[in-house]
Amino acid sequence: MTEVALEAGVSQTTVSLVLNDAKGARLSADTRRRVHDAAKKLGYKLTAGKPSASSSAGTIAFVVNEFSTDPWMCLAMDGAREKAWEYGITITAASTRGDPSLEHAVLEGILAQPLVGLIYGTIHTRRIERLDLPRRVPTVLLNCYLSDRSAPSVLPAETLGGHTATDHLIRAGHARIGMINGEPRMDASRDRLKGYRQAHASADLPVDPDLIRNGNWEPSEGYHHTRELMALASPPTAIFCANDMMASGCYEALKELGLRIPEDVAVMGYDDREIAKYMHPPLTTVVLPHFEMGSIAAEFLIEQMARPTQRAPQIKVEGDLVERESV
C-alpha cells in the first residue's frame, strides 16, 4: 500500500479507503482513479474482507478524562474504532474520571502495553498545560491542545461553526439575531461567539451587545434568556442558541409567548443532538463533529506507522449545517 500511495501521490490511508471502498470516504473521482491506476500498474491486489481480530496489527489506546451523559466522547471513540478496524487495529478505552492520580495510574498501565499510539481526549474543548507521556508513544490530543502546541491535536472548528450558523440566519433575511451562548470561560463559547461576530462583520451588520446573553448550556437558560430577548424594545427576529439543549428551552419560551417558529422567530441550534430532529418544528443546527474527529485522530496515528513524522499539526474539523424547519 505504501508503494501504491507513492505512485499515486496520496497517503497510505487514502489507498486503503479507496481499495476497501470505505463507506463515507469523501474522496474525489480523480483521487480514486489515480489509486486504482497505481494499484493496477504495480500489480497490487487487496485481500478481500476485513482483517480478523487475531490478525490485528496492534492497539490504539483511547483515554478520556471522563465519560458523561453527553454523547461526544462515545461518538469520538466510535469514529476511532471504525477507522482502526479498517486496518485490523483494535481500540482499548479507559476513563480517568478527571482524577490526576488516577490518570497517572491509568496512563502508566496502558502505556506498558505495545501500542500503535494513544488518543487522549477531554469532554470539554480546552487547553491543557502539560501531559506527562513518554515520547516513544505517538500521541494525538482529541478535543484539547497543549499550550505550546507540541503535540498534534484534533479539534472542532467552533469559530467556523458559529459563523456558519449565523450566516445561515443572515442569508434567511435576519438582521437582528440574538445569541444565547454558553459559559464565557469555555473555549467553545468564545469561539462560537467569535464566529457570530465574524458573520455579522462579513455581512456589514452591526452587533448589538443587548442581543448576546451568556447561559450555561441548560434548557432553563435558553428559556430565561429568550424571555429577556423578546422583552427588548427591538427584539430579535432570530435566535442562535449555542447548543441544542438551550434551543429546547428557547422553543418553550417562544411558544408561551404565542410566537411561531420560524414564521415569527427563527431558531438555530448547535451540536445536532438526537433531540434536534424530534423537536416541533425540527431544529436547524450545526453538527459537533466528534465522530469524524475520532476517525481523523486514529487515521493520523495509523499514518505514523508507515511514515513517522515529528510534525504536530492542529487539525480543525468542520461540522455540517443540518437544515430542518426552524429557520
Q: pLDDT tens digits, residue range 108-164?
A: 777 777 888 999 999 889 998 877 766 678 899 999 999 888 889 999 999 999 999
Would you state the pLDDT for residue 206? 96
φ and ψ at 284, to 5 degrees? -75, 135
* SS3 sequence of 255-279: HHCCCCCCCCCEEECCECCHHHHHC
Distance CA 174, CA 92 (A): 47
Would you state the pLDDT for residue 48? 43
Q: What is the pTM of this model?
A: 0.79
Residue 292 identity (one-letter amino acid):
E
Tell me the domains of the chain and their CATH numbers.
Answer: 2-42 (no CATH), 53-156+290-319 (3.40.50.2300), 158-286 (3.40.50.2300)
Would you state the pLDDT for residue 97? 67
Would you state the pLDDT for residue 51? 39
Would you state the pLDDT for residue 53? 36
φ and ψ at 265, to 5 degrees? -140, 125
Distance CA 10, CA 154 (A): 21
Would you state the pLDDT for residue 161? 96
Would you state the pLDDT for residue 94? 81
Counting every residue written for the chain, the total comes to 327
Where the chain has pLDDT below 50, the residues are: 24, 47-56
Would you state the pLDDT for residue 105? 76
